[in-house]
Structure 1
Amino acid sequence: MSEATTPAGPSHGTGLRAAIDLSHKVRPGEAAIKAVLLTSAIVSVAITVGIIVTLIQPIIDFFGEVPVGDFFATEGTYAVLPLVMGTLLVTVIALLLAVPLGLGAAMYLSEYASARARRWLKPTVELLAGVPSVVYGFFALQFVTPTLLQDIIGLEVNFTNSLAAGLVLGVMVLPTIASLAEDALSAVPMSMRQGSLAMGANRMQTTLRVVFPAALSGIAAAVVLGMSRAVGETMIVALAAGAQKKFDADVLTGHQAMTGYIAQTFGGENPVGSTPYNMAFAVAGTLFVMTLILNILSMIVVRRFRQAY
């Protein structure tokens, strides 16, 4: 037995070493792909750093002329809190519409729709994401405010108002939430559904108590991404929400959002280096910090959900 196994030992070891050496060899195509991916990562970081560097000097010039207390105030020419209020109002209204409808659409497409219906409905929902935001803004001005809110519902709203802007923004954000949440729900293993049905649960109980909790991290990421897009939207709030800097919660009147202020400032006649011009950079920096904090909090929430489930 020892004579039979002795020649095979070195041959087996040689083959194993050859396989290990082959696995450590980097093919030219793999090296090129690695270089492209590394370049993409570096460019992404460089762009972010470039944005920060671009904001620094105008912000320094602005706060050299305007006290910090006047900037973080509820009233005044250079107050930013009314702009923050307008941004939050429109975003909350958008999420109140987009989150329930988006998650409902995702659960239907993932758990109830037939294969044929899913092939038609999902691209149709995703098609809404391709509509330009300026079209949504004109839709809010020409239909939502005069026809839906004033004629059908009977509300006394201004021509530009935060309610119309938030509703249309919610329609724009809806496909993002629906598509990403549907992907998260579809990624749940079929064995979990089968196990729940085998225990006597119906399809709705399985969806809400088994599939939904298992996909909660992906659903949370979808909602946060939709929120980030709503906060950063420009054209809808610039056209439909108006340009009134107010620190109140009256959604029937207009509120100027942070992105709308930036667009309207750079689109006006403010000379480069003037105080209003530099304030746009200060507002942009504030929005950048808000978005960064939102993304950090979302990462923490998603990680906790992943650990829990």
Structure 2
Amino acid sequence: MTAPAAKPAAGTGSRSLRQAHPRYAEQLVKALLMIAALVSVATTIGIVIALIPPTVDFFQRVGVWEFLSGTVWTALFAEPEYGVLPLLAATLLITGIAVAVAIPVGLGAAIYLSEYAHPRTRKLLKPTLEVLAGIPTVVYGFFALAFVTPRLQDWWPFGGDGPEIKNALSAGLVMGVMIVPTIASLAEDAMAAVPRSLRDGAYALGSGRRTVAVRVVVPAALSGIVAAFVLGISRAIGETMIVLIAAGARPDLSWNPLHEMQTMTAFIAGAASGDVSTASFEYKTIFAVGAYLFVLTFVMNVISIRLVRKYREVYE
């Protein structure tokens, strides 16, 4: 009887296989992904490097407390004041209106697409919804100015003069529509990643579809849903064209959404595209506001990462 062939040493076969058939395509993809990651990090570092010198020059002349707590912003006037609170208040107000529109609509759309829609309906509705994310924001801005604001003025039911020609309300409403696809798409992806066994277990206990969606799927996908919310909020804070066209350029410290106001991004865009000399001190205010906006978004992203890690669910 022929003796059985000797077994190769552990790991010898796999090593010889890798040596005989190197996976060049996989190595190329790995290198491209590494380059993409490095480009992202380098871009962030480049932004910080570009912001620091002009911002430092700005704060050598203007106190940090004066900048953060001042209630008057007339940086480009003959008698300048550098209180950033009017710009911050407008940014937060318009973002709050947008979030109040986008979160319930986006989350509702995600729940419907994930738990209620027929697969054919989902394949039709989700790409259609995501088309909204590809519309240029300047189109949203003109839509808010030329369509939404006149309708608000015509249908205003609360008396008074109603919204001004440029106002925070129309800008916030249209901005909320703009970020709905971002929230809906990412939240639906997070819900789709929840294992089917969790749904089947809930149905086996007699739960209805609404209970399964609200009590099982949403909590299980909470980390992804929070990430979708934060990404949508970050996009709203950094939006420029909608607020520049529809909200106006009057930096008044007001919490009335019917009034014209100026956000941080609108000031940066307006000042950078105006007649301000790049060598002037007024031009450095752009970098100071930009650095403040960068810090705000960075802090918000850090908080969101902590929330995502706190509510992350790991399934096998």
Q: With the length of structure 1 as denominator, give the TM-score of the two structures.
A: 0.92
How much has 1:14 moved relative to structure 2? Answer: 3.7
**Distance of 1:55 and 1:232 partners within structure 2:** 16
Q: Going by fraction, where is helix more abundant, 1 or 2?
A: 1
**What are the equivalent positions in structure 2 for 1:16-35 lying under 5 Å apart?**
16-23=11-18, 26-35=22-31
| Residues 1:75 and 2:78 aligned together | no
Deviation string, structure 1 residues 46-76 (Cα, Å, up to 9, x no partner): 1111111111111122122222233112224
Partner of 2:259: 253
**What are the equivalent positions in structure 2 for 1:119-268 lying under 5 Å apart?**
119-147=123-151, 149-154=152-157, 156-268=162-274
Partner of 1:99: 103
Unaligned runs of 5+ in 1: none
- Say whether the 8 Å CA contact 2:141–2:245 is kept in structure 1: yes
Partner of 2:119: 115
Deviation string, structure 1 residues 125-183 (Cα, Å, up to 9, x no partner): 11111111011111111111111x11123351111111111000000000100111111
Deviation string, structure 1 residues 55-114 (Cα, Å, up to 9, x no partner): 111112212222223311222422112111111001010000000000001111111111
Partner SS state of residue 136, structure 1: helix
**Equivalent residues, number:** 303
Partner SS state of residue 160, structure 1: coil
Partner SS state of residue 243, structure 2: helix
How much has 1:26 moved relative to structure 2? Answer: 4.9
- Say whether the 8 Å CA contact 2:221–2:313 is kept in structure 1: no
2:54 to 58, 83, 100: 58
Partner of 1:89: 93
Which one is further off, 25-34 or 42-51?
25-34
CA 1:249–1:308 in structure 2 vs 1: closer, same or farther (change >3 Å)? farther
Q: With the length of structure 2 as denominator, give the TM-score of the two structures.
A: 0.90
- Say whether the 8 Å CA contact 1:65–1:275 is kept in structure 2: no
Counterpart of 2:157 in structure 1: which amino acid? G
| Residues 1:37 and 2:33 aligned together | yes
Unaligned runs of 5+ in 2: 74-80
- Say whether the 8 Å CA contact 1:169–1:230 is kept in structure 2: yes
**Distance of 2:221 and 2:117 partners within structure 1:** 18
Counterpart of 1:28 in structure 2: which amino acid? Y
Partner of 1:48: 44
CA 1:131–1:252 in structure 2 vs 1: closer, same or farther (change >3 Å)? same
